[in-house]
Amino acid sequence: MFDKIKQWQMTELKTDFKLVESEMPTIKENEALVKIAGCGVCHTDLSFWNDGVRTKMEMPITLGHEISGTVVDGPTQLVGKNVIIPAVLPCGECELCKKGRSNMCQNQLMPGNDFHGGFASHIIVPFKYLCPVPDSILKTYSLEQLSVIADAISTPYQVIKKSELEKNDLAIVIGVGGVGVYGALIAKIAGAKVLAIDINDEKLAQAKKNGVDATLNSKGLNSKEIKSKVKEIAKELGASKYGWKIFEFSGTTAGQELAFNLITFTSTLSIVGFTLNKFEVRLSNLMAFDAKIIGTWGCKPELYPEVVDLIASGKLNIKDFVQTFPMSKINEVFQNTLDHKYDKRSVLVPDFDLK
């Protein structure tokens, strides 16, 4: 059994992560020890590291919440199993959990926020909601590639379901880098007519290549011009001019302003991207259009098996959107991600010497 755990820890804002080694903690009755296969780099990690968003656990802290791995200690039925660790680990017993809103459990634990996360050799987590990975899916994908299920795929999956998206609805996805492109593809799988909006032609081309119905580069256009073009595209696609389902994934002020301005009769706007910035809106538009805005936080663990099935069945292809790097390149990868140098989701793969 392993007696050491190695971790890349954040010790200060905007400074290099430091490699540390410590004794392996003793696991508790409700916990499992998972040997990490891969951990994705998420916008939330960048917010903690660069933007000053506070983690619940004080520094030094090991970030990373998009984790796949193999259980090496814990309950007998789980040892040796490949798993996805949900990015939000609820208690399962509180009022919100019992009402089917476990993603908002106020007793929830988030790796890389409430406790040391996935940029490490191992992690100790509550085992109640670990999501098993079937062997069949590993014929197509490596276990480290599947780490993105824990947030980049499961989060848009939950919001698509919450939006009450119906077949042939127009789904407008704003921001198709990272999480957004999965939202676009999942909306397509659900039967929607999907329009991807971004300011990056390469990301738009990648989305179109993977089945999105239409794309629009919004760079240099004002919201009125964009809405006019969206109406034209909706007509070309044979989609209704009512009930648009708008998904804001960019996490930018411009993206959120555009998303609000695209609201029309009986629209639903779903906010997925995060920004600390504020802007002015006329909330009366919701009344005038009989529209609604919803938010989403992570994904409740109960939905993870459905996401795994989407990928295992071949309906959702993720190979074009994931790239792996040795975890020892963490400082380079974080800086490059901050500088928007990658078009794919980065996954860090442990390359520690565990002898």
How remote is the C-alpha of 351 from its chain's centroid? 24
Quick check: 99 and 92 in contact, CB under 8 A?
A: no
Q: How far is CA 80 from CA 72, 73, 192, 304, 325, in A?
A: 6, 8, 39, 20, 24
The token pair that represents 327 in the structure block: 């975890």
pLDDT single digits (tens) 99-143: 999 999 999 999 999 999 999 999 999 999 999 999 999 999 999
Query: Hey, what domains does the chain have and what are their CATH numbers?
Result: 4-151+300-349 (3.90.180.10), 154-295 (3.40.50.720)
Quick check: 108 and 89 in contact, CB under 8 A?
A: yes
For residue 320, give the DSSP letter: G
pLDDT single digits (tens) 171-197: 999 999 888 999 999 999 999 999 999
Give the global pTM.
0.92
Q: Where are the beta strands (DSSP E) in 81-223?
A: 82-85, 122-126, 131-132, 170-174, 193-198, 214-217
* Nearest of 28, 20, 27 to residue 2 by alpha carbon: 27
| DSSP strand pairing (31-40 vs 18-23) | unpaired
pLDDT single digits (tens) 66-110: 999 999 999 999 999 999 999 999 999 999 999 999 999 999 999
| Torsion angle of C-alpha atoms 162, 168, 172, 177, degrees rounded to 10 | 80
Mean pLDDT of the residues in the chain: 95
pLDDT, average across residues 291-301: 94
